Amino acid sequence: MTQSVSEELLSVSELSVGFPTDDGTVHAVRNLSFSLRRGEVLGIVGESGSGKSVSSMALMGLLPKTAKVTGSIRFSDQEIVGIEPRKLEKIRGNDIAMIFQDPMTSLNPVFTIGWQLSEAYRAHHKVPKKVAWAKAVEVLELVGIPQPDRRAKQYPHEFSGGMRQRVVIAMAVINDPDLIIADEPTTALDVTVQAQVLETLIRIKDETNSGIMLITHDLGVVAGMVDRVQVMYGGTIVESGAVDEVFETPRMPYTVGLLGSIPHPDQLGQPLTPIKGTPPSLLNLPTGCTFAPRCPLAVDECRAAEPELLTIGGGKHSSRCIRSAELGSLDEAKELFIHEEIGNIENPAVLVEVDADAGTIDTDESTPQEEGSR
């Protein structure tokens, strides 16, 4: 870790991923361009099927062989697209680590936690088993597992859900990766434990100066956790920018819809602003804006050609909407939606309360919730 905080870690340029099928090509990811710096947390949000996971799998080189990948993924000055599998294996788990939603996909039930962590370390470091075991205990302590010496000798089933996800984080960070990709890392956990696990992830990021890509369909998780947010729809980015700016003045009706489905504490009792309809088929994308069929503000021009992702006001906020300037503040934009009497959302993107202090939640290890389920 000799590089500076602001150094660019990852640069994705015009990345597209297609899956040929009997019915045609599934355009899972289309012309994706973004970058991530050290020390930065980038949130990627969007409904199911918007291409969040496929794009992260592309970064890890974990796509099936049938996938047609074009464009460029530069990670620490190395091109990932088309890289030799042997070279990629070295990067994966060492420089880039991934945390999945279900801890049991990353943990083997028949081996102790300490053994699994040690082996993950030994896969990238030629050290004696004793040294690797000591490293395993150290990293368990780092992620906030009490009595790490004793816990290292236990099996995954002896840990609560939250503690298990901390172990998965330990597994991801044991080789001190530069980039951590967390795909729905806390979806299976209840809200309090979610906040504790996310707080652990952010603390480790601060300590190691790594970058985090946090993939989620939950805007409540993104609030207070990420620096920048990127909203995906129909396989591509439809809005991106600093999280506060995107939340306060979203410039894409789809984002307004996502934000509208979060009940805010001082808006209880008021109607939500959900999005009617379903995401587009990635086999047969509409000609124009992919959100136009669901958008209350769509006009003929929206259906003629897909808008480009354009920056707004010369800043880093960008949106793929020709009517972005008309949206006003979030409240004004929601008003526009409410007046259009949008029906119920079919894929509820978010139905949790945004807790602006979520990142600072007390992480006392002895909370009855976690202890009780051990």
Ligand X SMILES: Nc1ncnc2c1ncn2[C@@H]1O[C@H](COP(=O)(O)OP(=O)(O)OP(=O)(O)O)[C@@H](O)[C@H]1O
Contact segment (CB under 6 A) with ligand X among 50-58, 138-146, 222-230, 353-361 equals: 50-58
Of 15, 32, 53, 334, the one binding ligand X by CB under 6 A: 53
Q: Taking CB under 6 A as the rule, does residue 64 contact ligand X?
A: yes
Q: Taking CB under 6 A as the rule, does residue 26 contact ligand X?
A: yes
Cα separation, 296 vs 340, whole angstroms: 6
Contact segment (CB under 6 A) with ligand X among 20-28, 112-120, 248-256, 330-338 equals: 20-28
Cα separation, 211 vs 201, whole angstroms: 11
Phi-psi region of 46 (alpha: psi -120 to 50; beta: other; left: phi over 0): left
Long-range contacts at 325-329 (CB < 8 A, ≥ 24 apart): 325/251, 326/297, 327/249, 327/250, 327/251, 327/253, 327/256, 328/249, 329/248, 329/249
Of 12, 15, 28, 173, the one binding ligand X by CB under 6 A: 28
Window 166-205: contact mask with ligand X (x via CB under 6 A): ----------------------------------------
Residue placing its CB nearer to ligand X in the complex, 18 or 162 = 18
The encoded tokens of residue 16 equal 């597209």
* Cβ proximity of 135 and 174 under 8 Å: yes
Q: Taking CB under 6 A as the rule, does residue 217 contact ligand X?
A: yes
Strand partners, 92: 96
Cα separation, 345 vs 141, whole angstroms: 42
CA-CA distances (angstroms) from residue 80 to 32, 87, 319, 359?
A: 15, 9, 27, 32
Residue 219 belongs to what H/E stretch? helix 219-222
Residue placing its CB nearer to ligand X in the complex, 48 or 147 = 48
Q: Taking CB under 6 A as the rule, does residue 43 contact ligand X?
A: no
Contact segment (CB under 6 A) with ligand X among 51-59, 78-86, 172-180, 291-299 equals: 51-59
Of 54, 169, 212, 322, the one binding ligand X by CB under 6 A: 54
Residue placing its CB nearer to ligand X in the complex, 12 or 54 = 54
For residue 302, the one-letter residue type is C
Supply the minimum distance, in Å, between the C-beta of residue 279 and ligand X. 8
Residue placing its CB nearer to ligand X in the complex, 22 or 84 = 22
For residue 65, report the phi and psi dihedrals to the nearest 5 degrees: -60, -25
Residue placing its CB nearer to ligand X in the complex, 217 or 323 = 217
Q: How many other CB atoms are there within 10 angstroms of residue 266's CB atom?
A: 7
Q: How many other CB atoms are there within 10 angstroms of residue 269's CB atom?
A: 6
Supply the minimum distance, in Å, between the C-beta of residue 251 and ligand X. 21
For residue 14, report the phi and psi dihedrals to the nearest 5 degrees: 45, 45
- Number of amino acids touching ligand X (CB under 6 A): 15
Of 43, 51, 260, 288, the one binding ligand X by CB under 6 A: 51
Residue placing its CB nearer to ligand X in the complex, 3 or 48 = 48
Q: Taking CB under 6 A as the rule, does residue 282 contact ligand X?
A: yes
Contact segment (CB under 6 A) with ligand X among 18-26, 114-122, 337-345, 349-357 equals: 18-26
Q: Provide the binding-site residues for ligand X, judged by CB under 6 A.
A: 19, 21, 26, 28, 46, 48-54, 64, 217, 282
